[in-house]
Amino acid sequence: MALLALTSIILITLDLQGSSATRALRSTFGTIFRPIESVTRVVTRPASNAWYGITHYNDVTAENELLREKIAQQEGAAVAAAASVRLSQELLALNGLPTLAGINSVSAQVIGDSPSNFVQSVEIDQGTESGIKVGMPVLNAAGLVGKITQVFANRAVVMLITDPQYALSVKIINTPKPTTTTLPLQDPATAVTVVSVPETIDPQVTIPPVAVTSNIAGFTPGSIVAPRTPIISSSLTIPPGSNVSVRETGVLEGRGAGRVPTVRFIDTAQRFGVVQAGSPIVTAGGSLSLAPPDIVVGTVSRVRERLGTAGPLLEIDIVADLSNLSFVRILLYQPITERTAP
Amino acid sequence: MSERLLRFMASRWTRLVLVSLLLLGLQTTVLNDMRPFEVMLPLMLLFAVAAGTIYGSEVGAISGLIIGVMYDMVLSTPLGLASLVFGATAFVAGMLPYFIREPTWWTRALTIGVVGALGELAFPIAQSMVGFSGQLQPRVIVVIGLVAVAGTLGAPLLLLVCRWTLKETLVG
């Protein structure tokens, strides 16, 4: 038993140190095991299909109908979105800012999930031969999927963004909801209603008609135009484009199988306002980030307020369906933090 | 030379490696697809536990180590983690005779279920100990419950395969 523990601990230590021996061992084993796995997959496919047929038939039918509906809705929007994306990339390129279009990518097929209840990863059929390196971001047609954590000659392991080990800086594009405030004045009839939003939205000042009363005989109130002195002078000059959404950065962290990732370290600055459910979340980018900027990650599904200065905790609906990955795209972008000395 | 090769080929450990490769194939394909309540049934772990219940702690620990190393090869957790957990779990399963003088098939089946579930619980704990924290969640209760049931129900078949795999041969 002691020998067993010692052997295992030595192996763990070697692997955590990034030993090339353990990497070579894994690579060799993969080469031997791959054909066995392929044969087993072929042999057991009828059983797997039967299982899916029994357990997922209703879900698949419902999902199929939903997808048809969604396709119909999105066909028109997609054309407009593509044009906007093109325009945005051109603008970014003109200003010398990094864009996804400028990063080469490799497509790969997902060839297996992690055979464990406690690891959230998938295996893909491309590796170092295609230029893939550890740390590169992986996406599918919908959005961010994860990052490469292990790479071999012609296969690689992708850690999914739901894994508790995964963390990434993200931006929340918030569109604060307008709030209405009534300012009490001396005369309630002349109350001023201010529809206010954080600075980025044009403020509107509404002044109700002033109620005019008179004690002079023969004089009918309302028959003349009473002089009005606006209490708030609203000659505000709003610069063009100031009504764009507000962005704030936070850190996205996976929480394991069956639990949605969260974003924390959100600064609840006055300008940012209250985070709304449904706000989109994209990668933040930056020199130390694991991914280039503006890759879609998901949307805010729930905002959990916390006491003190901790700021809100956002639960995220990931746009990529991680339970049903078939093809993915690996951006050939290796973050500085993942680079190893040659 | 040929006799040595024959001895090696007929050895119980060679047979264990070959059978484990097949079981690993099943683990990464059909069992990975068929997940009742989103739980994957750990065939490799249960097989290691079965080895412990039939052949005792020592054989169980070695079997667990071999099976665990093979399982480690397809996981993204550090190499050696599954072997440590499987070896220790099979070792514990091998202590059955200390508690039950003459184990019957059903006591072995129960042991496989219970110890298998403990082994499955030990895996996220071991992960946490080497820095891969965050997997110890309430969902673990469902996982170990299902593993216990599946281990107990599948034990007769596992015992049969394990007995054949690890039996001593005249040559080996």
Whole-number pLDDT of residue A247: 67
CA A312-A313-A316 angle, 5° bins: 135
Q: Which of A8, A114, A150 sits opposite B87 (nearest CB)?
A: A8
* Distance, CA of A173 to CA of A320 (rounded, Å): 18
* Mean pLDDT of all residues in A37-41: 90
Q: Is the pLDDT of residue B119 over 70?
A: yes
pLDDT band of A337, cuts 50, 70, 90:
confident
pLDDT band of A222, cuts 50, 70, 90:
very low
Quick one: DSSP state of residue A162? T
What are the backbone dihedrals phi and psi of residue A261, each rounded to the nearest 5 degrees, phi first? -65, 160
Whole-number pLDDT of residue A272: 58
Any chain A CB within 8 A of the CB of B145?
no
* CB-CB neighbours of A54 under 10 Å: 9
- Which among A125-129, A214-218, A247-251 has the top mean pLDDT? A125-129
Q: Which of B73, B123, B124 sits opposite A29 (nearest CB)?
A: B73
Count CB pairs under 8 A between chains A and B.
154
By the 8 A CB rule, do A257 and A162 touch? Answer: yes
Element (H, E) at A183: strand A179-183
The reply to whether residue A164 touches residue B39, judged by beta carbons under 8 angstroms, is no
Q: Among A125-129, A307-311, B164-168, which stretch is predicted with the lowest mean pLDDT?
A: A307-311
Q: Of A315 and B170, which is predicted with more confidence?
A: A315
The answer to whether residue B172 is domain-embedded is no
Whole-number pLDDT of residue A255: 87
Beta partners for A250?
A170
Number of domains forming the structure of chain B: 1
pLDDT band of A221, cuts 50, 70, 90:
very low
Whole-number pLDDT of residue B50: 94
The answer to whether residue A272 is domain-embedded is no
What CATH number does the domain containing B110 carry? 1.10.1760
pLDDT band of A212, cuts 50, 70, 90:
very low
Whole-number pLDDT of residue A96: 67
By the 8 A CB rule, do A160 and A116 touch? Answer: no
Q: Is the pLDDT of residue B19 over 70?
A: yes
pLDDT band of B91, cuts 50, 70, 90:
very high
Whole-number pLDDT of residue A175: 63
The answer to whether residue B86 is domain-embedded is yes
* Mean pLDDT of all residues in A287-291: 77
Contact residues on chain A for B76, CB-CB shorter than 8 A: 114, 119, 121, 149-150, 157, 159
Tokens standing for residue A191: 């109350």
Q: Among A148-162, A225-239, A318-332, B154-168, which stretch is predicted with the lowest mean pLDDT?
A: A225-239
Q: Which of B32, B38, B76 sits opposite A258 (nearest CB)?
A: B38
By the 8 A CB rule, do A100 and A331 touch? Answer: yes
| Average pLDDT taken over every residue of chain A | 75
The reply to whether residue B79 touches residue A22, judged by beta carbons under 8 angstroms, is yes
What confidence tens digit (pLDDT) does each residue in A156-207 have?
999 999 998 898 888 888 765 555 555 555 455 554 444 444 443 344 444 4
* CB-CB neighbours of A239 under 10 Å: 6
The reply to whether residue B79 touches residue A44, judged by beta carbons under 8 angstroms, is no
* Distance, CA of A192 to CA of B171 (rounded, Å): 99
Whole-number pLDDT of residue A98: 62
* CB-CB neighbours of A57 under 10 Å: 10
Whole-number pLDDT of residue B20: 93
Q: Which of B33, B65, B74 sits opposite A7 (nearest CB)?
A: B65
DSSP for A220-255 reads -TTSS------SS-----PPTTTTSPEEEEEEEE--
Any chain A CB within 8 A of the CB of B52?
no
The reply to whether residue A48 touches residue B72, judged by beta carbons under 8 angstroms, is no
By the 8 A CB rule, do A186 and A60 touch? Answer: no
Contact residues on chain B for A11, CB-CB shorter than 8 A: 69, 72, 78-80, 83
Any chain A CB within 8 A of the CB of B33?
yes
Looking at chain A, which residue has its C-alpha nearest residue B75?
Answer: A114
Q: Is the pLDDT of residue A211 over 60?
A: no
Q: Which of B28, B65, B134 sits opposite A164 (nearest CB)?
A: B134
Whole-number pLDDT of residue B34: 87
Element (H, E) at B149: helix B139-166
Whole-number pLDDT of residue A204: 44
pLDDT band of A246, cuts 50, 70, 90:
low
Whole-number pLDDT of residue A95: 73
Specify whether the backbone of A96 is left (phi greater than 0), alpha (psi in -120 to 50) or beta.
Answer: left
For a pLDDT cut of 90, what percent of chain A falls above it? Answer: 7
Q: Is the pLDDT of residue A144 over 70?
A: yes
pLDDT band of A270, cuts 50, 70, 90:
low
Any chain A CB within 8 A of the CB of B116?
no
Tokens standing for residue A156: 């690689």
Any chain A CB within 8 A of the CB of B154?
no
pLDDT band of B152, cuts 50, 70, 90:
very high
Interface of A with B in 28-67 (CB under 8 A): 29-30, 33, 36-37, 39-41, 44, 47-48, 51-52
Q: Which of A4, A48, A119 sits opposite B77 (nearest CB)?
A: A119
State the smallest CA–CA distance between residue A154 and chain B in angstroms: 15
The answer to whether residue B48 is domain-embedded is yes
The answer to whether residue B19 is domain-embedded is yes
Q: Which of A10, A113, A118 sits opposite B127 (nearest CB)?
A: A118
Q: Is the pLDDT of residue B89 over 90?
A: yes
DSSP for chain B reads -HHHHHHHHHSHHHHHHHHHHHHHHHHHTHHHH--GGG----HHHHHHHHHHHHHHHHHHHHHHHHHHHHHHHHSSSPTTHHHHHHHHHHHHHTTHHHH-SS--HHHHHHHHHHHHHHHHHHHHHHHHHTT--S--STHHHHHHHHHHHHHHHHHHHHHHHHHHHH---S--
The answer to whether residue A182 is domain-embedded is no
First to last CA, chain A: 39
CA B20-B40-B42 angle, 5° bins: 35
Q: Which of A13, A48, A149 sits opposite B30 (nearest CB)?
A: A48
Whole-number pLDDT of residue B97: 79
* Mean pLDDT of all residues in A67-88: 75
* Distance, CA of A9 to CA of B129 (rounded, Å): 12
The reply to whether residue B133 touches residue A164, judged by beta carbons under 8 angstroms, is yes
* Mean pLDDT of all residues in A138-156: 89
* Mean pLDDT of all residues in A232-249: 51
The answer to whether residue A301 is domain-embedded is no
Q: How many helices (H) and strands (E) does chain B have?
A: 8, 0
The domain of A27 spans 16-97
What confidence tens digit (pLDDT) does each residue in B42-66 have?
999 999 999 999 999 999 999 999 9
Q: Of B136 and B58, which is predicted with more confidence?
A: B58
Scan for tokens 């009005």, then name that residue: A228
Burial level of A209, CB count in 10 A (0-12/13-18/19+)?
A: exposed
The domain of B85 spans 8-166
Q: Comparing C-alpha atoms, which of B62, B45, B29, B58 is closest to residue B124?
A: B45
By the 8 A CB rule, do B114 and B96 touch? Answer: no
By the 8 A CB rule, do A205 and A234 touch? Answer: yes
AA identity, residue B63 = S
Number of domains forming the structure of chain A: 1
ipTM topping 0.90: no
Q: Among A78-92, A217-231, A315-329, which stretch is predicted with the lowest mean pLDDT?
A: A217-231
Contact residues on chain A for B80, CB-CB shorter than 8 A: 7-15
State the smallest CA–CA distance between residue B168 and chain A in angstroms: 21
* Distance, CA of A262 to CA of A315 (rounded, Å): 5
Q: Of A66 and A240, which is predicted with more confidence?
A: A66
Best of B73, B95, B123, B132 to substitute, by most chain A Cβ atoms within 10 angstroms, is: B73
Q: Is the pLDDT of residue B9 over 70?
A: yes
Whole-number pLDDT of residue A180: 53
Looking at chain A, which residue has its C-alpha nearest residue B141?
Answer: A117
By the 8 A CB rule, do A319 and A296 touch? Answer: yes
Centroid of chain to Cα B127: 18
Q: Comparing C-alpha atoms, which of A337, A330, A325, A246 is closest to residue A287?
A: A337
* Distance, CA of B25 to CA of A41 (rounded, Å): 8
